[in-house]
């Protein structure tokens, strides 16, 4: 056996692999090939680059004060933005499903605008509207509140881009919900508030949570609108994606890679968490 | 009247239309008011502002901005990139949708999650990964340099970055349609002697066409509007590696606010067209659901 040549033996592993490849149809080949080239290879390149740094060095860059402050600004602001949208997004979904009012269809369609509008346009117009002499910013300026070019501006941009995730996750569930249950609760003497709190909200809750998680995940990675609306000053309103960008601009590939790897790990953890939430949601649906 | 007949003794059903069964009168207008107020602050006013700023000095500066060489080059580059990326990702998306929607295999869930990765990660991280792969110090760096091919800070890198961030759209829109349509018609065609290509072209494609078109529109909107990933790999050089979204940021940074908003209007119109097409397609699929 040891002497048999791989090429002449029809039962050799190489032949087996060749036959297996022959069985792969075109769609399989394109899917796996394209995914490997476009997705797996770049991820592998970054992880390998990150692994060449020694752990002490990696840890030092990943937890440097400027990085810690950037995580703080990014994740805390994104969380607040997603939670605010959790409340108002649910309210908007409720209004769009339950009530009729003029221009409802147009308003419903415009909720998707942040999906369709390029992020740099969003950043440009938010920076102008919320600046000291902008339409909305000028209302807050006399109170001493600056929005554009501060952390508040970052928050507004994150609210803008994460809003449709919550509305569009909650809306279909609300649409399916039977009104009879609420009427039954009313008939049994529950107050309006009790009906909402104990009958409507519990089945909606997994969807609201999923929407908030999706919005949070999007807000954490956002770059285009936030970089324009913020002043990008370290320890003030510098977010992690901008920090990665600045590191690259200074040709500090090691620094960019370490912070990029931290962000990638958190994004993948969020993706995993969202998948678990979706599974929970489906079980809730029965 | 009716309530008294069957109701248990001592309990009176609230009459229809009473405040007990229906919401209190102030609730509906208040909630609608809050919803519209919030949307106005976050969405409507900023959107109106794009058009106001671009046209507040009349149409003339707007059109002169749109004929500047920098703008024209950026618009052309944006179009060319999307003309390459959209067809490539459409073919991939169809293949991936077929693999996931028509087959049961181990690792199927993993493959679906993999498809979501480009949406989950920051565009800047996506750009960084492409730099680390194709850049001068990257894996393919020495090999590309020897072949005298420039990927980073050049056109190919921008195409790769755009393709990366728009990779999932088509597959994600087509998979649910494919699963809902089922395999009955395809099997019938097969029994009647159609080959794989004929089945795909004459049976599968017509039944998924609206979902596919929806995916293509979303891919195109994101491809033309992508900022973060392209910004990382392009170097943002005017008349060379500057797309329209990059032009908007660059003009704003150079205090050419008018030019920035003129380009923003063009991209804003792209978004409006996308939303209108989306509405039409959603109505089409909804009507189909009702018919069936």
Rounded to the nearest integer, the mean pLDDT of chain A is 89
Kindly report the CATH class assigned to A55-285.
mainly alpha
Chain A residue numbers with beta carbons less than 8 Å from the beta carbon of B260 are: 124
- Nearest CB to A264; choose among B114, B121, B261: B121
- Distance separating alpha carbons of residues B196 and B212, to the nearest angstrom: 19
Q: What is the mean pLDDT of residues A221-248?
A: 94
- Distance separating alpha carbons of residues A176 and A181, to the nearest angstrom: 12
Higher pLDDT, B37 or B194: B37
DSSP string, A179-245: HHHHHHHHHTT--HHHHIIIIIHHHHHHHHHHHHHHHHHHHHH--HHHHHHS---TTTT--HHHHHH
- Distance separating alpha carbons of residues B220 and B217, to the nearest angstrom: 5
Sole residue written with tokens 């080959």 = B195
Query: Is pLDDT at A16 greater than 90 in this prediction?
Result: no
- Interchain CB distance below 8 Å, B113 and A267: no
CA distance B56 to chain A (A): 14
State CA B161 to chain mean position distance. 15
Query: Is pLDDT at A23 greater than 70 in this prediction?
Result: no
Mark which residues 250-279 of B lie under 8 Å from A by CB. Answer: 252, 257, 260-261, 264, 267-268, 270-272, 274-276, 278-279
Rank A18-22, B238-242, B261-265 by mean pLDDT and report only the highest: B261-265
**Could you report the per-residue pLDDT of A156-168, keeping only the tens digit for each?**
999 999 999 999 9
User: Can you give the pLDDT at residue A182?
Assistant: 82
For chain B, say whether A49 makes contact (Cβ under 8 Å). Answer: yes
User: Can you give the pLDDT at residue B128?
Assistant: 95
DSSP state of B60: H
Domain boundaries of chain B, sorted by first residue: 24-56, 60-291
Query: Is pLDDT at A90 greater than 80 in this prediction?
Result: yes
Chain A residue numbers with beta carbons less than 8 Å from the beta carbon of B151 are: none
Polymer length of chain B: 292
Listed residue (B166, B99, B219) closest to A38, CA to CA:
B166
Sole residue written with tokens 């209004």 = A95
Query: Is pLDDT at A117 greater than 80 in this prediction?
Result: yes
- Could you tell me the end-to-end alpha-carbon distance of chain A, in angstroms, rounded to an integer? 57
User: Can you give the pLDDT at residue A17?
Assistant: 65
- Interchain CB distance below 8 Å, B125 and A267: yes
Higher pLDDT, A8 or B239: B239
* A and B: number of Cβ contacts within 8 A: 251
Spatial contact of B158 and B74, defined as CB atoms under 8 Å apart: no
Listed residue (A85, A148, A245) closest to B122, CA to CA:
A245
Domain boundaries of chain A, sorted by first residue: 1-44, 55-285
DSSP state of A141: G
For chain B, say whether A91 makes contact (Cβ under 8 Å). Answer: yes
In this structure, CATH architecture of domain B60-291:
Orthogonal Bundle (1.10)
For the stretch B193-208, what's the b/e string if a residue is b when 16 or more beta carbons lie within 10 angstroms of its beta carbon?
Answer: ebeeeebbeebbeebb
- CA-based R_g, chain A, Å: 25
User: Can you give the pLDDT at residue A54?
Assistant: 86
Dihedral (CA of B159, B161, B166, B167) sign: positive
User: Can you give the pLDDT at residue B196?
Assistant: 84
């Amino acid at each position: 056996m040891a002497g048999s040549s791989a090429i002449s033996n029809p039962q050799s592993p190489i032949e087996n692999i060749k036959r297996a490849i022959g069985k792969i149809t075109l769609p399989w080949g394109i899917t796996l090939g394209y995914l490997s080239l476009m997705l797996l290879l770049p991820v592998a390149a970054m992880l390998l680059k990150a692994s060449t740094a020694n752990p002490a060095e990696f840890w030092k860059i990943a937890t440097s004060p400027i990085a810690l402050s950037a995580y703080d600004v990014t994740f805390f602001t994104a969380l607040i933005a997603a939670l605010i949208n959790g409340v108002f997004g649910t309210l908007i979904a409720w209004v769009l499903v339950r009530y009729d009012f003029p221009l409802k269809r147009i308003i419903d369609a415009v909720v998707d605008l942040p999906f369709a509008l390029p992020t740099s346009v969003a950043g440009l117009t938010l920076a102008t509207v919320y600046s000291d002499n902008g339409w909305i910013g000028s209302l807050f300026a006399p109170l001493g509140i600056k929005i554009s070019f501060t952390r508040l501006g970052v928050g507004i941009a994150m609210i803008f881009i994460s809003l449709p995730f919550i509305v569009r996750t909650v809306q279909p569930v609300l649409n399916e919900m039977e009104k009879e249950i609420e009427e039954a609760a009313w008939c049994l003497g529950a107050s309006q508030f009790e009906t909402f709190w104990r009958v409507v909200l519990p089945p909606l809750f997994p969807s609201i949570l999923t929407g908030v998680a999706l919005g949070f995940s999007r807000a954490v990675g956002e770059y285009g609108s936030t970089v324009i609306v913020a002043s990008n000053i370290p320890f003030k309103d510098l977010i992690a994606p901008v920090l990665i960008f600045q590191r690259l601009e200074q040709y500090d590939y090691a620094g960019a890679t370490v912070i990029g790897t931290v962000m990638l790990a958190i994004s993948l953890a969020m993706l995993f968490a969202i998948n678990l939430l979706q599974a929970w949601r489906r079980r809730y649906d029965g | 009247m009716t309530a008294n007949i069957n109701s248990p003794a001592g309990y009176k059903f609230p009459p229809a239309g009473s405040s007990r069964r229906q919401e209190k009168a102030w609730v509906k207008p208040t909630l609608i008011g809050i919803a519209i107020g919030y949307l106005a602050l976050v969405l409507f006013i900023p959107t109106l502002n794009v058009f106001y700023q671009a046209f507040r000095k009349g149409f003339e500066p707007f059109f002169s901005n749109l004929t500047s060489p920098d703008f024209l080059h950026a618009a052309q580059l944006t179009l060319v990139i999307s003309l390459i990326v959209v067809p490539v990702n459409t073919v991939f998306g169809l293949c991936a949708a077929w693999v996931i929607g028509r087959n049961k295999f181990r690792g199927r869930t993993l493959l679906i999650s993999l498809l979501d990765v480009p949406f989950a990660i920051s565009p800047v991280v996506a750009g960084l990964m492409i730099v680390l792969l194709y850049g001068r110090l990257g894996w393919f760096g020495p090999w590309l340099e020897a072949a005298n091919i420039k990927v980073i800070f050049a056109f190919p890198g921008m195409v790769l970055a755009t393709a990366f961030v728009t990779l999932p759209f088509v597959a994600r829109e087509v998979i649910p349609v494919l699963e809902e349509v089922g395999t009955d018609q395809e099997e019938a065609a097969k029994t009647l002697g159609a080959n794989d290509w004929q089945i795909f072209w004459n049976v599968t494609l017509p039944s998924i066409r609206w979902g596919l078109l929806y995916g293509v529109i979303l891919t195109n909107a994101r491809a033309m509007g992508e900022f973060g990933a392209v910004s990382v790999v392009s170097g943002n050089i005017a008349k060379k590696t500057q797309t329209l979204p990059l032009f908007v940021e660059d003009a704003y940074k150079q205090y050419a606010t008018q030019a920035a908003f003129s380009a923003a209007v063009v991209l804003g119109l792209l978004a409006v067209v996308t939303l209108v097409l989306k509405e039409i397609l959603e109505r089409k699929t909804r009507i189909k659901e009702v018919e069936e």
